[in-house]
């Protein structure tokens, strides 16, 4: 399903992923449509801003409106009116976001100033249960067999096993689906990371077996974990790389400053003939870093979430359109941007829409941010094909950081 068009001396490459709903030219950015919608945008807008493929979420669509209903609708792409390729995440991220991260503000990316505090450094999963009980009730609890999720909608309990996740993803009908994994918190101890990784590997195997038994035509990607630890990351890449996955996700927690390094450990070992998707990463610097270390696909909520909260990408860095200075700024968000928003509206108008809390603010900002990231990745691809990646990267950051 994956054709490599150009390979550099290192790990970097440009290629094409073939799916029943069309090709994906890689490296590519994948907008996130968690609940079968790119928040505030129509599929037509998403498509015309240049996105090739979108990613929805298993846990969310299982809860609402239900995967059976989506199966009847013909899959989530058809359901939402998106004609291109689709992906679904397995729900493994919710083991983190509704588990260890719930109510704590912990990000999957530990910033270098976070002092590497390890509040989660509890021995193993059994002791952890009692530790968890002491805290605010989490919505996800992990055991050896799977994850108990509590619905954020009505509190009801739902148990996900690898088989369950795969079944739901079969119903959701995406072209590319992911094995059920445990996304760990970057604050976990090495001991816990190792334990979780063992679990993820067992779950990967079970996901794959179940997928093969059901003879689904969807492409199943396995997910590499291992936190910030080289030994674990390499072990995971080796273990998963030996399995018959159509591609690979690289997931979980990183230290912000050495994410590129962690990705390299993994991509050096993964089979190079299959696509690699870096899960949940999407800031420009991180994408450049990951592409140069061999990643082909990126999904991230950053462009759309930032857009909704007023942070907009420009060629000179991010701006917060809610800042006072933009009230009377009649220039476009980014004068070198070709998106619909920048061609049509001013910063002052966007600032007004945000301050007035008008819905169009989210739409116009999302169009811009997605266009910006999608086209940045597309330009990266072009630069790989033209042997000018380094030059492009250098000129990009010369502007971006100024």
Partner RNA sequence: GCGCAGGUGGCAGAGUGGUCAAUUGCACCUGACUGUAAAUCAGGCGCCCUACGGGCUACGGGGGUUCAAAUCCCUCCCUGCGCA
At 266, which helix (H) or strand (E)? Answer: helix 259-267
Shortest Å, Cβ 111 to RNA:
7
Check: CB of residue 279 under 8 Å from CB of residue 296: no
The owner of tokens 């899960």 is 279
Shortest Å, Cβ 158 to RNA:
13
Choice between 89 and 188, CB closer to RNA: 89
Please tell me whether residue 82 binds RNA under the rule CB under 7 A.
Answer: no
Please tell me whether residue 90 binds RNA under the rule CB under 7 A.
Answer: yes
- Specify the long-range contacts of residues 127-131, CB closer than 8 Å, at least 24 apart: 128/192
Q: Which of 55, 61, 174, 384 binds RNA (CB under 7 A)?
A: 55
Instruction: Classify 275 as helix, strand or coil.
Output: coil
Q: Which of 45, 161, 320, 346 binds RNA (CB under 7 A)?
A: 320
Please tell me whether residue 39 binds RNA under the rule CB under 7 A.
Answer: yes
Rounded CA-CA distance 280/186 in Å is: 14
Please tell me whether residue 322 binds RNA under the rule CB under 7 A.
Answer: yes
Piece of 19-27, 248-256, 334-342, 387-395 that binds RNA (CB under 7 A): 248-256
Please state the φ and ψ torsions of residue 311, each to the nearest 5 degrees: -95, 125
Q: Which of 290, 368, 380 is nearest to 336 (CA)?
A: 368
Which residues lie across from 312 on neighbouring strands?
Answer: 319
Q: Is 398 exposed, middle or buried (0-12, 13-18, 19+ CB in 10 A)?
A: exposed
User: Exactly one of 286, 289, 296, 299 is catalytic; which is it?
Assistant: 299
DSSP at 99: I
Which residues lie across from 299 on neighbouring strands?
Answer: 30
Lay out the site mask for RNA across 172-211 (x = CB under 7 A, - = otherwise): ------x--x-x----------------------------
Please tell me whether residue 232 binds RNA under the rule CB under 7 A.
Answer: no
Near RNA in 333-362, by CB under 7 A: 355, 357, 359, 362
Shortest Å, Cβ 327 to RNA:
6
Please tell me whether residue 323 binds RNA under the rule CB under 7 A.
Answer: yes
DSSP at 96: I
Rounded CA-CA distance 80/75 in Å is: 9
Please tell me whether residue 96 binds RNA under the rule CB under 7 A.
Answer: yes
Choice between 327 and 385, CB closer to RNA: 327
Piece of 14-22, 31-39, 123-131, 201-209 that binds RNA (CB under 7 A): 31-39
Instruction: Classify 33 as helix, strand or coil.
Output: coil
Look at strands 147-150 and 157-160 and give their pairing: antiparallel
89 in active site:
yes
Shortest Å, Cβ 395 to RNA:
21
Q: Which of 50, 75, 84, 310 binds RNA (CB under 7 A)?
A: 310
299 in active site:
yes
Piece of 5-13, 66-74, 308-316, 380-388 that binds RNA (CB under 7 A): 308-316
Please tell me whether residue 261 binds RNA under the rule CB under 7 A.
Answer: no
Near RNA in 288-307, by CB under 7 A: 299-302, 304-306
User: Exactly one of 67, 89, 181, 286 is catalytic; which is it?
Assistant: 89
Which residues lie across from 160 on neighbouring strands?
Answer: 147
Please tell me whether residue 111 binds RNA under the rule CB under 7 A.
Answer: yes
Near RNA in 112-151, by CB under 7 A: none
Please tell me whether residue 283 binds RNA under the rule CB under 7 A.
Answer: yes
Please tell me whether residue 367 binds RNA under the rule CB under 7 A.
Answer: no
Rounded CA-CA distance 152/103 in Å is: 13
Check: CB of residue 122 under 8 Å from CB of residue 189: yes
Cis peptide before 27 (omega within 30 of 0): yes
User: Which are the catalytic amino acids?
Assistant: 89, 299
């Amino acid at each position: 399903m994956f054709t490599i068009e150009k390979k550099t001396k290192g790990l970097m490459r440009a290629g094409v992923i073939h799916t029943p709903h069309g090709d994906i030219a890689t490296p590519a950015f994948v907008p996130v449509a968690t609940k079968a919608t790119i928040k505030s945008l129509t599929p037509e807008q998403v498509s015309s801003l240049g996105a090739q493929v979108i990613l929805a979420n298993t846990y969310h669509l299982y809860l609402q409106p239900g995967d059976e209903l989506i199966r009847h609708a013909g899959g989530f792409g058809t359901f939402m009116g998106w004609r291109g390729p689709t992906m679904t995440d397995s729900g493994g991220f919710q083991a983190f976001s509704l588990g260890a991260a719930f109510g704590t503000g912990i990000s999957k990316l530990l910033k270098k100033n976070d002092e590497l505090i390890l509040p989660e450094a509890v021995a193993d999963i059994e002791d952890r249960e009692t530790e968890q009980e002491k805290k605010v009730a989490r919505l996800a609890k992990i055991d050896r067999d799977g994850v108990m999720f509590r619905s954020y909608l009505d509190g009801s309990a739902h148990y996900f096993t690898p088989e369950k996740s795969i079944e739901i993803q079969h119903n959701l009908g995406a072209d590319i689906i992911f094995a059920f994994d445990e996304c760990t918190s970057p604050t976990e101890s090495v001991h816990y990371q190792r334990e979780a990784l063992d679990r993820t590997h067992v779950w990967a195997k079970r996901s794959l077996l179940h997928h093969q038994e059901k003879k689904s035509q969807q492409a199943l990607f396995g997910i590499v974990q291992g936190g910030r630890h080289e030994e674990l990351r390499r072990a995971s890449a080796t273990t998963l790389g030996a399995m018959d996955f159509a591609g690979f996700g690289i997931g979980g927690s990183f230290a912000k400053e050495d994410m590129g390094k962690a990705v390299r450990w993994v991509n050096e070992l993964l089979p190079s003939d299959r696509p690699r998707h870096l899960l949940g990463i999407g800031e420009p610097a991180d994408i450049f870093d990951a592409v140069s270390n061999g990643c082909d696909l990126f999904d991230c909520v950053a462009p759309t979430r930032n857009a909704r909260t007023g942070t907009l990408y420009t060629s000179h860095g991010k701006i917060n359109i809610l800042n006072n200075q933009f009230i009377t700024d009649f220039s476009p968000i980014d004068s070198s941007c070709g998106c619909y928003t920048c061609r049509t509206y001013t910063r002052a108008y966007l600032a007004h829409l945000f301050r007035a809390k008008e819905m169009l603010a989210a739409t116009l900002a999302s169009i811009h941010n997605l266009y910006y990231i999608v086209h940045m990745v597309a330009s990266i691809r072009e630069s790989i094909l033209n042997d000018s990646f380094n030059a492009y990267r250098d000129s990009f950051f010369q502007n971006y950081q100024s």
